[in-house]
Amino acid sequence: MSGKTFDFQPTVELLQVLARGSLRQNLPKAVRLWVILRSLYGDETDPIRLQLNKKFTYSDWNKLFFTQTDTDHKDYKIPLAHDPQCPCAKTIRDWLFNPDSGMNAEEWQCRFLNLYPMTGQDLDNLLSFGIIPQAEKNRKNQKRLPSGRLFAITSKNIQYDFKALVEMGWLQAQAIKEGQGKKFKIVYSLVKDFPQVAIYPENAILAPGTTVVRNALANDLADFFEDFGQKINGEQRFFLDIEYIVHRQFCQQINTLRKQLKSIWHQPQIPPVKITYVSAKNYQNYHDRGEEYIVYPVCIYYSHRAPYLFAFGQTPKDDGKIDWYDYRLDRIQSLQQLKWDEVNIEGFTQLVCQSKTPNQIENYRNDAWGFDFYKPQELLLLRFDRYFHYRYIEGTERDELFTKIPYKYAESQILNARIDSERKPEILKVFYSRSPEDIYCRVNYRTDDNNVIMRLRAWGAKVEVLLPWSLRSRMAKDIEDTWKLYQG
């Protein structure tokens, strides 16, 4: 048997490593792998540690781990709640937050939400059923766990968990021929050394030598970095083409800003800063030196081809209001750290600013479609070409954003919309000329958000804006102006 002892707590970082992907989607699997590892490598005081032979099969493990394995944990059957003493009776919460795990439920959930912003209800559903309801309809291979019981799955699925442990280096496996026939059985043995990633999971979200990006990505693109971040047999097999429009002359300036912000965010109490910023809105000429704003820096986003500093404080909006704003990094001419006693701005205090967090920004961004989360929301009614919607919207992250609605409900949205009396018959005439077989969606979007408008332009004739009238008119004018360039 291995001399190693698996005494790791089920931290978000370790579970994320075991998930080999988004923990938001693979939480039950990650927790199961953690439990199985305890059963194999736990110390002598661990109540679920099993006494297995040096070489063992899945059936050997199954018989020792569960109760009533001849009737309830057999073949492709999902076990019913047959025995309160059987490990299959325990829920995800039971495994994560019992005294043996050493995890504080509140601290664990805060850490999880920092990495995967979502509503409290969604997190509750994830911990209760293993899946967020809206994800269930989009991923046919993911089903909610009965009563949240972690091992309420088939033996075949648990065998896939063992296969995952072999792939990650936690187990060794060998196929041995049974008798004179063609059947093989898989025999497992423990490893002498744990995978390196298990020793320092907080620093090993990706393989050693790769860029740590999983925490910064809210989707499964991080899986590609994990699998292909390093060369394979001396060849780089994965390339990421990100359009980056920042001029080379600003590289040194941005490097300086990065170092300043990193130093500021390492401080226990984040101070305010004074920035000199050249706003595109207020831009006058090439030699514009910009204007000064005092802000509280919160986080950096890369979006639509450039990095932005999201901050709370004074803004270029000319309304004198203390608010959120996104400052493009290459337009920040300078950044100076201040002390709180040097700042005297109404509505801008240390207490107020300390409540402004990256998680809060994520929640705002999830409320509506658009990058500029501080802009007001408005209802956007869209009509999609059915085939286009099937190929590029359905089953993707966009499917959670765009709510499909029936043709009649789309009609009621127009009938109840606040539109000038002479415009409503016009848009209704257009609507009645469209096919009820098309896909109609509604979504809240950030008014005049340029990122939204650029996406709608890119989709071209495959999507039509029905509401609001102001956005429909702008789309029509942009298309007309473009057409004028090409006619003849």
pLDDT of residue 420: 84
State the pLDDT confidence band at 213, using cuts at 50, 70 and 90: low
Taking the C-alpha atoms of residue 373 and residue 301, their distance in angstroms, rounded to an integer, is 12
> What are the strands of the beta sheet with 171-177, ordered from one edge?
55-56, 184-190, 171-177
pLDDT in tens, 147-162: 889 998 888 889 889 9
Q: If you average pLDDT over residues 155-182, what whole number do you get?
A: 84
Taking the C-alpha atoms of residue 84 and residue 130, their distance in angstroms, rounded to an integer, is 20
Domain range list for the chain: 12-203, 205-241, 249-357, 377-486
State the pLDDT confidence band at 409, using cuts at 50, 70 and 90: very high
Peptide bond into 468 cis (omega under 30): yes
Taking the C-alpha atoms of residue 332 and residue 289, their distance in angstroms, rounded to an integer, is 10
State the pLDDT confidence band at 284, using cuts at 50, 70 and 90: low
**DSSP-based three-state secondary structure for 47:** coil
pLDDT of residue 37: 94
Q: If you average pLDDT over residues 23-41, what whole number do you get?
A: 92
Taking the C-alpha atoms of residue 35 and residue 9, their distance in angstroms, rounded to an integer, is 10
The one-character DSSP state at 153 is S
pLDDT in tens, 113-139: 877 788 888 899 999 988 887 644 444
- For the ranges 73-77, 277-281, 359-363, which has the lowest average pLDDT? 73-77
AA letter at 382: L
Residue with tokens 């920040």: 332
Q: If you average pLDDT over residues 268-297, what whole number do you get?
A: 82
Closest CA relative to residue 246, chosen from 288, 286, 305: 305
Beta-sheet pairing, 323-328 with 332-337: unpaired
**pTM exceeds 0.85:** no
Handedness of CA 276, 280, 283, 286 (dihedral sign): positive
pLDDT of residue 334: 93
Taking the C-alpha atoms of residue 88 and residue 82, their distance in angstroms, rounded to an integer, is 9
Beta-sheet pairing, 273-277 with 184-190: unpaired
Taking the C-alpha atoms of residue 303 and residue 329, their distance in angstroms, rounded to an integer, is 12
pLDDT of residue 287: 58
Long-range contacts of 413-422 (CB under 8 A, 24+ apart): 413/379, 413/381, 413/442, 413/467, 414/381, 414/466, 414/467, 417/379, 417/467, 417/468, 417/469, 419/467, 419/469, 420/469
Q: If you average pLDDT over residues 263-280, what whole number do you get?
A: 91
Report the half-sphere exposure of 378 (CA within 13 A, side-chain side): 21
Q: Token pair of 281, please?
A: 């809105």
Task: Compute the mean pLDDT over every residue in the chain, rounded to the nearest whole number.
Answer: 84
pLDDT of residue 138: 43
| DSSP string across 376-429 | PEEEEEEEE-HHHHHHHTTTSHHHHHSEEE-HHHHHHHHHTS---TTTHHHHHH
State the pLDDT confidence band at 320, using cuts at 50, 70 and 90: confident
The one-character DSSP state at 482 is H
pLDDT in tens, 227-258: 776 777 778 787 777 777 677 777 788 888 98
The vertex-382 CA angle with 379 and 384, nearest 5°, equals 160
Taking the C-alpha atoms of residue 408 and residue 415, their distance in angstroms, rounded to an integer, is 11
